[in-house]
A and B are shown apart, each in its own frame.
Chain A
Amino acid sequence: MKKILAITFRDLRVRFASFVEWLFFLILPIVFTLVLSGGTGAPADNRVRLVVVDQANTSLSTELITALENSESVRPDLLSLDDAEYQFDSRRVSAMLIIPQGFAREALESGTLTLELRQQPNSLNALVAQRSVQAVISRVGQAVAIARNSLAEAEALRPFETDAARQTYFDDALESAQTLLAEAPDRLTETQGDTPDQIEYDPRANSSAGQLITWVFIPLIGLSELFAYERQKGTLRRILTTPTRKGTYLFGTIFGQVLIALGQMTLLVLFGILVMNLNWGQDVFGLAIMLVAGALAAAALGTMLGTFVKTTGQANGLSIMLGMVMALMGGCWYPLELFPEAVRSMVKVLPTTWAMQGLLDLVLRGQPWTAILPEAGVLLGFAAVFFVIGILRFKYE
């Protein structure tokens, strides 16, 4: 046990021998987190801008725009058609909504209502806008459906004497349905089973989680470099001529690096909480599970790679390249939702993908620790496989 601590302590000393290491340990991760999140500005309006052209100018269109304004994900910006088209064509805005003439209650009742939403291709923001517009419309549409249903029910009980009475009844029913739906807005989102999952994206949370994974994975994969160094220098051979077991050496070395990684992650999480106002602390237990599982998976990968590389140079290049590619493909730099479906299922073979999803579950979606168990389980599975291969293949000579 004392030896394990001695080896761990040596890891610390060797790792932080040069100032450059601090660059990778804290400075770069923080800089990248800030840059990719667009600054620390916590309460700034992060909603996606949606250009709206109102050609109808009816009470219904105003109602729709108000509903959009109350949305948490889009910020409607009223423009003329020409201005809107110019902005859209020059890709300054990711989506534009045109409310055509005749967008009025009568059309709503007869079910012939149309809206035109133009989206930039492959744009996450456009997707966000589309989702919000759909939610708002369906809320309005649902109100009409409820009013129609209640009108039919009423008619079945007792036919209306005049058309005017019938219209009054419908208007009342619609109004109360709207009020009721407005009071329970959440229920709307929850009942939309046939639409794709709502994309949740917050540049700050994504960047904090993504950069954390990137900058922790790279040095952990770099464990392969430490093994290469020890083999090259002969310190590994020397250790094996002292009364120290192979297992003690391996465990101590890996444990040391994992410990450093956990320290680094804690600092980056604290940075996220204190400076960026992120909600990392919602489920501390879940967070601890995710961080440990992620660190183990990356350290195991480094151990396995260490058995394939010959020199420290190789190990260094490989760990930076692999770490970067895995982080990019795992959605740590850009949200996975931007990737085509096929790629999205392919990148499930990367531990970074699972680590990122698990962390987002916690920091962005505010889920409890039970929700990240699948991700943590997959990461631990990766860790087990990589460790077994790495330890079986480990060359001491």
Chain B
Amino acid sequence: MPTILEVKDLVKKYGDFTAVKGISFNIQEGEIFSLLGPNGAGKTTTISVLSTLYAATSGDATIAGHSVSKDPMAVRKVIGVVPQEIALYEDLTARENLNFWGQMYSLSGKALKDRVEEILEQIGLTDKARDKVKTYSGGMKRRVNIGVGLLHKPSLLFMDEPTVGIDPQSRRAILDSVKDLNRQGMTVLYTTHYMEEAAELSNRVGIIDHGELIALGTQKELTRQVGEMETLVLHVDEMQDVQRLAKAVEALEMVRHAEVSDHSVTAIVPEAEEALAPAVTKANELGIKIRSVDIREPNLEAVFLHLTGRALRD
């Protein structure tokens, strides 16, 4: 697979503050690549430099062979951008917005008209195309926001946290459409702070924190780094003392770490099944009733915790 994006030692400073501290990675054609990181990690800044909006302080990137710093116009023709914010004209309708942005992508005439209708169909807003964007729900706005980035059939699509602040149903629809687009041959650079999204979508994941790429690889490769830990989750009834249970579980020999989240205890263990029986015994001793049990394979959340000592979500 040929490389479509090559990032080399990219640094971006805002005044004295360094938001991106020299990151390097490649994306292959046909891949979905996720940048996973918490708020303020530098995801948007990275995408802004790659989409030629900001000049890099040092380092460079090439997209389809064009340097981002030296030939931004050539780069812009190849990329589609779905920004984190809803960058639309609220007073215009969805169709008017698509028409305008299509013209900005140098489409015109019948090609533009056909493409706009095609996108409206694709994002499921043909019926609402005559309504002003400001009357739309958050999920509908997000869909138009994505549609604009697809107008000129880019070979590389940047999507910056496209599911923030919307209902689960719209989120599902967006994740499915990303997979659809990828199946049709589009390469995607996807940023998110939801580890499940990165896990579900991507071939490879880059974990970014404080402007640094702290891990990079397939999910398997990354989880192997944490030593193949599994997660055991014990769900208990309300009104039970989870704190005491967590203490007792953490005291078990094979448990590395145990954490309380509402009405459940999450334990990081090398072998979940092995830890299950002793944990249940402890619960019985304490008179705490366990309602259900989950065993999870090693995940990116655990990787992030392992690498930074912090949870991905704040």
Contact = CB atoms under 8 A, between A and B. Distances in A.
The answer to whether A and B belong to the same complex is yes
Contacts of A10: 89, 92, 100
Nearest to A240: B53
Contact of B92 (A17, A237, A244): A17
B194 interface: no
Interface string B61-96: 000000000000100110101010111111110001
Most chain-B CB neighbours within 10 Å: which of A6, A9, A18, A239?
A: A6
B92 A13 contact: yes
A2 B83 contact: no
A17 B104 contact: no
Contacts of B79: 241
Nearest to A244: B104
B240 interface: no
Interface residues of B, number: 29
Main secondary structure of the interface of B (DSSP, over half): loop
Contacts of B96: 13
A239 to B, nearest CB: 6
Nearest to A238: B87
Contacts of B90: 233
Nearest to B102: A6
A234 B103 contact: no
A248 B54 CA distance: 18
Nearest to A232: B85
Interface size class of A (residues with CB under 8 A): 20 to 34
B104 A234 contact: no
A13 B101 contact: no
B192 interface: no
A23 B266 CA distance: 62
A243 B76 CA distance: 5
Contacts of B100: 6, 9-10
A57 to B, nearest CB: 73
B103 A6 contact: yes
Most chain-B CB neighbours within 10 Å: which of A237, A240, A241?
A: A241
A6 B101 CA distance: 9
B106 interface: yes
What are the 4 closest A-B residue pairs judged by CB atoms, nearest first?
Answer: A17-B91, A234-B87, A6-B103, A238-B87
Given A2-B108, A242-B101, A245-B73, 15 more contacts: A3-B103, A13-B89, A13-B96, A14-B91, A17-B91, A17-B132, A233-B89, A233-B90, A235-B89, A237-B87, A240-B52, A241-B53, A241-B81, A244-B104, A397-B53
